[in-house]
């Protein structure tokens, strides 16, 4: 039986430790690092593509990682309906790999930006099964290239299909320009594929699983993994 | 003497590598012959201030470096202290001032890269970065460019490595115009028995190089910092950072160090292969023979000289037992790096550099290290500094009582006091999920250590204006303030690291500052019982013969027994506000005097180190007991600024009466003093705090209470929180 969370690590991944810590320590589920050279995801029930600077962000964020050997296995896993969570650089990798539509551009400020922000849960997906639509989550962001972009047609399709999963908002849930930290179109912070099993987002739920270090709202996202692992909550 | 050596030292060539005529004569005497060109370059680098500490080594014995908690003092890549449960904290601060003056982004980035390598070379996993930055005033476009790009470079490198930048300071003064100071500090965690020293041993062991290939970048970096105007003559020496490669090197190195096959590890920093080989051999009392022809290059046609003195970044030297080669090579390959065997350890104490069959250098290792000349220079305080200090500050016209609130708002938006958020939001400070108290929330950062109840607190500080007016007193303040900031979060200071940023020590006025500041650090460290475990020196920080303010930056690390019991600047409504510690504010050396009257003048605040120790202990005890969760020391801008900052961060106002220990309005609001800490406590706990303070011999003064949506001072009109926040947040705009 598939029982493990797999954290995919590329050269330059640096959010792998935090992802591992969130699942293995805070959630207490079996978790293993999946090296970018691996081609087989046997035993993996949940795939997490963590944050970082895979391949140094050279060429374009995520552009080289999509060609890593492991990505074929991740693609097949996603196409079979397996749950995949791409966080920050992981989100960028998933868009480059065409597992999610659109692209992440340089922040509107042209600067790296680290802060705690709020997002509103907009639609249901595998990764929002433990939160309600309309919930407001406080999560950290830390990125230089997080401005979500897609053409008008794609944006319209995402909106009408309910594939926009998280939107930046203020503490009260209002979607305002000054609550959008990076200039993302329609304040999009996270999206899903059509199957709702693959989700990418710029904020870091894996860094927000313990109130001691700023907040635990992220825990409500990572706990979704439990259903795939068939572990009693 | 080797026959193959070609002697061709042109008269005066030694001056190009920043060696004096006397120093060259000493080299001739030591060697009994002329050095080869490669040897001369190696001497130039190793006998530079950066590597050889020519002017500072005679001063170092004054510094206390021992304590039961100290596992490693100065002399290694970084110092280490025990934090209990078999764990150690490794830390050090280092400057990258001169490169940052020329190419701010890469200079700052590679400064971060260098200090991070120092930490993981010790076997420790880096868990936090801090920095101390100083620039000229921002109305100058060049200074603004330097500020923006230094911050960008620090973020660019640290963010990519995945190490949070959790604290720091930024200060502006014209003395730093064109000569910014960029000091980076790194903290790592390791088990006590996992600490690794860079001490070569084992004759016949392999010397391996891993990481980046070697190019011509950074040639003469160590010596160019000893030249007054680096920008004019040394544009080409700047190193370029590759944090992606460093991340791989970090992971590979930590895995290598646990493999058991690596005897010693030394990063290649200033003077590259030269210093790493020499230091490794010298510490181990062995010799080393390397062949530059075996060093992988990124450029064609490099000479032995260039390979030996390149400062290409992200390289690491290993000493490996021959049977461990396969294991080391496999680990290095796993991390997508390559390794090269470039030499071996010998028993003759010589550092021998081959270029294929040709001997290009052959010198006893100790000539480069122990035989480096040291200097005690004549010291004399500059008359204009004496005059500035003796300025009578009472001659400045006082503020009118009604004027003070408006001046408070101006000060809050001034560059040295305004919110640092535009800076620290460019640094990832949440990665690794250990940041319990983030930048902007308290006087120090607080980090948890996963799996432990304890935590660490850390701060980096120096009031260089005080140091300018009185280097001995100012340096004592720097130590006291760094420790006070740690104490204000509940941490017991364990040790400090220092970065001595000064001007030219060959001038009597410069040496006076250096000499007195080191003495000040020593005196404060003894009184506060905190040893110095690591440090770095950057001299010749001058432009057009005008030195920077003497800046002995102090980084402190402290221990919290229970990380959940910490304090921040945040208070709640309905609490009592209390000032702990003696309060006799002065205008001398104050931010107010500099900002409002454009004067760096007067006698800086006095410092009673015994009183300092008492107030820090009291506050730590109250935090540890869970009575105090809000503490903030009074620093730049005095008590009004300190209270305003607390109100802003809390989003809660206050009604306070300022102490009437001075007559003048400006001194009452904005005068500065040491050893004073504002705490907020529940009204029910006030008497207990008063009793504890009396018992500890610490003055206690109730200032008022929290609440309301504004800050009311001395019964005047309330200043709305929104006005305070807006002023504070938009200082850099």
CATH number of the CATH domain containing A94: 3.40.50.880
A18: nearest CA in chain B? B432
- ipTM associated with this complex: 0.96
The total of structural domains in chain A comes to 1
Q: Chain B contact for A214, CB < 8 A?
A: yes
Q: How far apart are CA B599 and CA B379, in angstroms?
A: 25
Using the predicted structure, report yes or no on whether residue B489 has a pLDDT greater than 90: yes
What's chain B's average pLDDT?
94
Mean pLDDT in residue range B183-210: 93
For the record, the structure tokens of B170 come out as 């930024």
Please report which helix (H) or strand (E) contains residue B331, including its range. Answer: helix B325-334
pLDDT range class, residue B223, cuts 50, 70, 90: low
What pLDDT shows up at residue B294?
96
Dump strand ranges (E) for B237-286.
262-267
Rounded alpha-carbon distances, angstroms, from residue B27 to B44, B219, B363, B373: 10, 21, 10, 10
Tell me the angle at which helices B686-696 and B609-624 cross, rounded to the nearest 10 degrees: 140
- A142 near B CB under 8 A: yes
- pLDDT tops 60 at residue B537: yes
Q: Best interface-test mutation with A: which of B149, B165, B433, B434 has the largest number of A CBs within 10 A?
A: B433
Residue A217 lies in a domain: yes
Other C-beta atoms closer than 10 Å to the C-beta of A108 total 14
The distance from CA A114 to its chain's CA centroid, rounded to whole angstroms, is 16
**pLDDT (tens digit per residue) in B668-727:** 999 999 999 999 999 999 999 999 999 999 999 999 999 989 999 999 999 999 999 999
Q: Domain for residue A19, yes or no?
A: yes
Chain A residues in contact with B243 (beta carbon < 8 A): 53, 56
In this complex, is the C-beta atom of A209 within 8 Å of any C-beta atom belonging to chain B? yes
- What pLDDT score does A17 carry? 96
**Tokens for B254?**
């930590």
pLDDT at B728 over 80: yes
**Separation in Å, CA A81 to CA A99, A130, B629:** 12, 18, 49
For position B200, what pLDDT does the model report? 80
pLDDT value at residue B226: 54
- B440 vs B730, more confident: B440
A86, A100 in Cβ contact below 8 A? Answer: yes
Q: pLDDT tens, B40-90?
A: 999 999 999 888 899 999 999 999 999 999 999 998 899 999 999 999 999
Over 60: is that where the pLDDT of B236 sits?
Answer: no
Q: Which of B171-185, B276-290, B415-429, B630-644 has the lowest mean pLDDT?
A: B276-290
CB contact under 8 A, A213 and B435: yes
- A134 part of a folded domain: yes
Ranges of residues in chain A with a pLDDT under 50 are 1, 231-233
SS3 B732: coil
Per-residue pLDDT tens digits for B512-529:
999 999 999 999 999 999
Q: Report pLDDT for B3.
A: 47
* Position A29 in a domain: yes
* Nearest-CB residue to B432 (from A18, A212, A214): A18
Q: Is the dihedral of CA B130, B473, B666, B642 positive or negative?
A: positive
Residue A131 lies in a domain: yes
Q: List the domain range (segments joined by +) for residue A200.
A: 4-228
Query: What's the confidence (pLDDT) of residue B224?
Result: 56
Q: Does A233 fall in a domain?
A: no
Facing residues of B167 across strands? B130
- What confidence score (pLDDT) does residue B220 get? 63
Q: Angle at Cα A34 formed by Cα A21 and Cα A103, nearest 5°? A: 85
Q: Which residue has the tokens 């596992």?
A: B71
Q: How far apart are CA B306 and CA B45, in angstroms?
A: 12
Q: What is the pLDDT of residue A232?
A: 38
The encoded tokens of residue A172 equal 């009260």
Contact B433 A210 (CB under 8 A): yes
Quote the pLDDT of residue B71.
Answer: 97
* Per-residue pLDDT at A231: 47
Task: Tell me which chain B residue has its CA closest to the CA of residue A205.
Answer: B433
Q: What is the pLDDT of residues B8-31, one digit of tens each?
A: 788 888 888 889 999 999 999 999
Q: Are B316 and B267 in contact (CB under 8 A)?
A: yes
pLDDT band at B228 (very low <50, low <70, confident <90, very high): low
The set of residues, in sequence order, having a beta carbon less than 8 Å from that of B104 and lying 6+ positions away, is B145, B146, B148, B149, B150, B152, B153, B180, B182
**pLDDT of amino acid B49:** 87
Query: With 90 as the cut, is the pLDDT of residue B732 above it?
Result: no
Count of pairs with CB atoms under 8 A, one residue in A, one in B: 88
Distance from CA of A156 to the nearest CA of B (A): 32
Are the Cβ atoms of A114 and B160 closer than 8 angstroms?
A: no
Report the DSSP beta bridge partners of residue B497: B534, B555
How is residue A230 written in tokens?
Answer: 């068939």
Query: Per-residue pLDDT tens for B93-126?
Result: 999 999 999 999 999 999 999 999 999 999 999 9
Rounded CA separation B270/B365 (Å): 17
User: Could you tell me what percent of chain B has a pLDDT over 70?
Assistant: 97
Does the beta carbon of A115 lie under 8 angstroms from any beta carbon of chain B?
Answer: yes
* pLDDT of residue B352 exceeding 50: yes
pLDDT the model gives residue B237: 63
Residues 6 or more apart from B686 whose CB is under 8 A from it? Answer: B576, B578, B702
What's the pLDDT at B11? 85
DSSP letter for each residue of B602-648: SPPPP--HHHHHHHHHHHHHHHHTTS--EEEE--TTHHHHHHHHHHH
Collapsed DSSP state (helix, strand, coil) of residue B670: helix
Hey, what domains does chain B have and what are their CATH numbers? 567-733 (3.90.650.10)
């Amino acid at each position: 039986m598939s029982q493990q969370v797999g954290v995919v690590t590329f050269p330059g991944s640096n959010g792998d430790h935090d992802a591992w810590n969130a699942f293995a320590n805070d959630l207490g589920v079996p978790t293993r690092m999946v090296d970018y050279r691996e081609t087989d995801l046997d035993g993996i029930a949940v795939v997490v593509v963590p944050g970082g600077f895979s391949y140094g962000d050279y060429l374009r964020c995520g552009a080289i990682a999509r060609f890593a050997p492991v990505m074929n296995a991740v693609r097949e896993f996603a196409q079979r309906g397996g749950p995949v969570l791409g966080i920050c650089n992981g989100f960028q990798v998933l868009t480059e790999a065409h597992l999610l539509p659109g692209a992440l551009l340089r922040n509107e400020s042209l600067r790296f930006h680290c802060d705690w922000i709020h997002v509103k849960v907009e639609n249901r997906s595998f990764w929002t099964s433990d939160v309600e639509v309309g919930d407001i989550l406080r999560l950290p962001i830390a990125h230089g290239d997080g401005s979500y972009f897609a053409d008008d047609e794609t944006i319209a399709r995402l909106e009408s299909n309910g594939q926009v999963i998280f939107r930046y908002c203020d503490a009260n849930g209002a979607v305002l320009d000054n609550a959008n930290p990076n200039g993302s179109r329609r304040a999009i912070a996270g999206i899903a594929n059509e199957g709702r099993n693959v989700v990418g987002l710029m904020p870091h739920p894996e860094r927000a699983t313990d109130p001691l270090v700023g907040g635990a709202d992220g825990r409500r996202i990572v706990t979704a993994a439990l259903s795939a692992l068939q572990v009693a909550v | 003497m080797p026959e193959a050596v070609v002697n061709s030292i042109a008269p005066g060539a030694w001056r190009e590598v920043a060696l004096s005529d006397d120093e060259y004569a000493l080299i001739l005497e030591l060697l009994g012959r002329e050095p080869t060109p490669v040897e001369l370059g190696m001497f130039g680098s190793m006998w530079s201030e950066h590597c050889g500490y020519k002017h500072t080594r005679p001063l170092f014995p004054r510094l206390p470096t021992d304590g039961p908690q100290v596992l490693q003092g100065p002399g290694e890549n970084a110092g280490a202290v025990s934090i209990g449960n078999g764990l150690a904290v490794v830390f050090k601060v280092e400057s990258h001032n001169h490169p940052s003056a020329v190419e701010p982004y890469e200079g700052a980035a590679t400064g971060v890269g260098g200090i991070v390598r120092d930490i993981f070379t010790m076997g420790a996993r880096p868990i936090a970065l801090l920095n101390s930055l100083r620039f000229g005033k921002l109305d100058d476009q060049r200074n603004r460019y330097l500020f923006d790009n230094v911050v960008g470079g620090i973020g660019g490198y640290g963010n990519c490595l995945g190490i949070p930048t959790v604290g720091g300071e930024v200060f502006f003064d014209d003395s730093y115009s064109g000569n910014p100071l960029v000091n980076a500090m790194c903290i790592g965690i390791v088990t006590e028995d996992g600490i690794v020293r860079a001490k070569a041993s084992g004759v016949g062991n392999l010397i391996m190089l891993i990481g980046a290939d070697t190019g011509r970048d950074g040639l003469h970096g160590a010596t160019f910092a000893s030249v007054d105007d680096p920008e004019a003559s040394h544009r080409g020496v700047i190193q370029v950072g590759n944090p992606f490669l460093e991340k791989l090197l970090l992971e590979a190195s930590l895995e290598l160090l646990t493999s058991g096959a690596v005897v010693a590890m030394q990063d290649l920093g200033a003077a590259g292969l030269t210093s790493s080989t020499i230091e490794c051999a010298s510490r181990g009392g062995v010799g080393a023979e390397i062949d530059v022809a075996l060093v992988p290059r990124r450029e064609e046609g490099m000479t032995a000289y260039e390979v030996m003195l390149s400062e290409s970044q992200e390289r690491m030297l290993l000493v490996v037992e021959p049977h461990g080669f396969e294991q080391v090579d496999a680990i290095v390959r796993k991390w997508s790096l390559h390794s090269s065997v470039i030499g071996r350890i010998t028993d003759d104490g010589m550092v021998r550099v081959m270029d294929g069959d040709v001997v290009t250098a052959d010198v006893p290792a100790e000539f480069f290290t122990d035989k480096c000349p040291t200097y005690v220079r004549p010291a004399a305080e500059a008359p204009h500094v004496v005059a500035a200090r003796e300025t009578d500050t009472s001659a400045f016209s006082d503020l009118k009582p009604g004027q003070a609130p408006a001046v408070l708002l101006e000060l809050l938006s001034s560059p040295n006091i305004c919110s640092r958020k535009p800076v620290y939001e460019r640094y990832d400070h949440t990665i690794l999920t250990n940041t319990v108290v983030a930048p902007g929330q308290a006087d120090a950062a607080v980090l948890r250590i996963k799996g432990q109840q304890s935590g660490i607190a850390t701060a980096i500080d120096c009031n260089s204006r005080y140091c300018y007016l009185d280097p001995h007193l100012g340096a004592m303040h720097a130590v006291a303030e760094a420790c006070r900031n740690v104490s204000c979060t509940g941490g017991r200071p364990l040790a400090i690291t220092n970065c001595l940023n000064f001007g030219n020590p060959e001038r009597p006025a410069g040496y006076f500052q250096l000499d007195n500041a080191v003495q000040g650090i020593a005196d404060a460290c003894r009184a506060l019982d905190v040893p110095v475990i690591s440090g770095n020196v950057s001299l010749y920080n001058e432009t057009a013969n005008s030195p920077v303010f003497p800046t002995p930056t102090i980084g402190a690390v402290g221990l919290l027994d229970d990380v959940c019991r910490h304090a921040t600047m945040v208070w709640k409504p309905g609490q009592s506000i209390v000032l702990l510690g003696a309060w006799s504010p002065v205008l001398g050396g104050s931010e107010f005097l500099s900002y409002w009257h454009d004067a760096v003048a007067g006698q800086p605040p006095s410092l009673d180190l015994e009183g300092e120790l008492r107030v820090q202990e009291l506050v730590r005890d109250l935090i540890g007991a869970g009575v105090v969760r809000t503490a903030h020391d009074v620093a730049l801008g005095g008590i009004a600024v300190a209270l305003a900052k607390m109100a802003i961060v809390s989003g809660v106002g206050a009604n306070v009466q300022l102490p009437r220990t001075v007559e003048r309005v400006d001194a009452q609001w904005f005068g500065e003093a040491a050893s004073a800490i504002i705490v907020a406590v529940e009204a029910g706990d006030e008497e207990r705090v008063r009793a504890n303070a009396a018992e500890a011999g610490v003055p206690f003064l109730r200032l008022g209470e929290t609440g309301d949506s504004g800050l009311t001072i001395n019964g005047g009109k309330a200043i709305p929180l929104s006005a305070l926040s807006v002023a504070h947040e938009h200082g850099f705009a």
